[in-house]
Amino acid sequence: MPITSKFVCLNGRFLKEEEVTFNLKNRAFRYGDGFFETMHYANGEVQLFSLHQKRMKRTMDLLKLESNILLNPLLIHKEIIHLINANHYFKGARIRITIYRDGYGLYTPETNQTNYLIETWALDQANYPINKQGLTINVYSEIKKASNNNTFYKSLDSRVSVLASLNKKEHNLDENLICNTENEIIESISSNVFFVKNNSIYTSSQISGCVNGIMREKLIEIIPHLGFELIEDAHIKIEHISQFDEIFLSNAIQGIQWVGAYNTKRFDNKTAKLIHKKLITSIFNNS
């Protein structure tokens, strides 16, 4: 019998999607007072879960959010698996945990306790398939992210990514790169970005304003073992883009996606494919 209603998990309660309601005074709605974490489920496991849990804890400490449940990795993992089973997403799934401050108040919160909502979506292909056709990209620079060390998490205020996505759609692109206030390329709409030149691979540092992506962390671990020089504090500007041999993007859902074109420049994908192969072996052979 087909499932006609998707289940979600709100504060440990498993509900049908349409049963979830929010008060107009909800702090996530009024102030964007929270963050979210996106995870990947495949082969019966939440991939790189310990790294996600570590970033969640770091973010909660920064935002002064308190929750014994969310800091219990065994309990949260159990709820995620239960939800995936309830929705019959056995092949693969995208998971989003939205965490936001409880209570009301104006800018000053009434409490630091939290609410959390876990949602899941089915994935057609679970094991990070690399794209066959290279992405066509450009740079969105109308609104820029601040350069600091406190943008490592996924804030509920995602207006830069939203506007960059609208720009991407208007110009029929696959992706847009995003700049910081120093006019440096720091990430894309939903991914971290890596640039390849000869035997060196470049990516932005955390203080540049980029999200400290979980897949970024995994690739930083993998890349030196393949014999590449890794530069983690790159300062890449728009005028530098065409100088590189390859560009590839990384995130927790898609793994690695290689870029094929920027304006009239065309890029190779040999390095991206080599790293992708090592990534698959590293994650799924060790699951």
pLDDT for the residue numbered 284: 81
pLDDT for the residue numbered 286: 59
pLDDT for the residue numbered 194: 98
pLDDT for the residue numbered 4: 61
* Rg of the chain over all Cα atoms, to the nearest angstrom: 19
Instruction: Tell me the C-alpha distance between 82 and 95, whole Å.
Output: 12
The pair of structure tokens assigned to 9 is: 């998990």
**Do 7-122 and 135-284 share a fold?**
no
pLDDT for the residue numbered 232: 95
What is the separation, in whole angstroms, between the first and last Cα of the chain?
A: 31
3.40.50.300, 3.40.250.10, 3.20.20.70, 3.30.470.10: which CATH number matches 7-122?
3.30.470.10
Helical H segments across 64-156, by residue range = 73-87
What fold does the segment set 135-284 form as a domain? Answer: D-amino Acid Aminotransferase; Chain A, domain 2 (3.20.10)
Task: Using DSSP, state whether 170 is helix, strand or coil.
Answer: helix
Counting as low any pLDDT under 70, the low residues of the chain are: 1-4, 286-287
Instruction: Tell me the C-alpha distance between 164 and 178, whole Å.
Output: 8
For residue 40, give the nearest of 97, 82, 105 by alpha carbon: 97
Residue 63 sits at φ, ψ, to 5 deg, of -85, 0
Q: What is the pLDDT of residues 70-108, one digit of tens each?
A: 999 999 999 999 999 999 998 899 999 999 999 999 999
Q: Where are the domains of the chain?
A: 7-122, 135-284
pTM to 2 decimal places: 0.94
DSSP 231-279: ESS---BGGGGGG-SEEEEEETTTEEEEEEEETTEE---HHHHHHHHHH
Q: Which residues of 247-277 are buried (b: 16+ CB within 10 A; e: fewer)?
A: bbbbbbbbbbbbbbbbeeeebbbebbeebbe
pLDDT for the residue numbered 187: 97
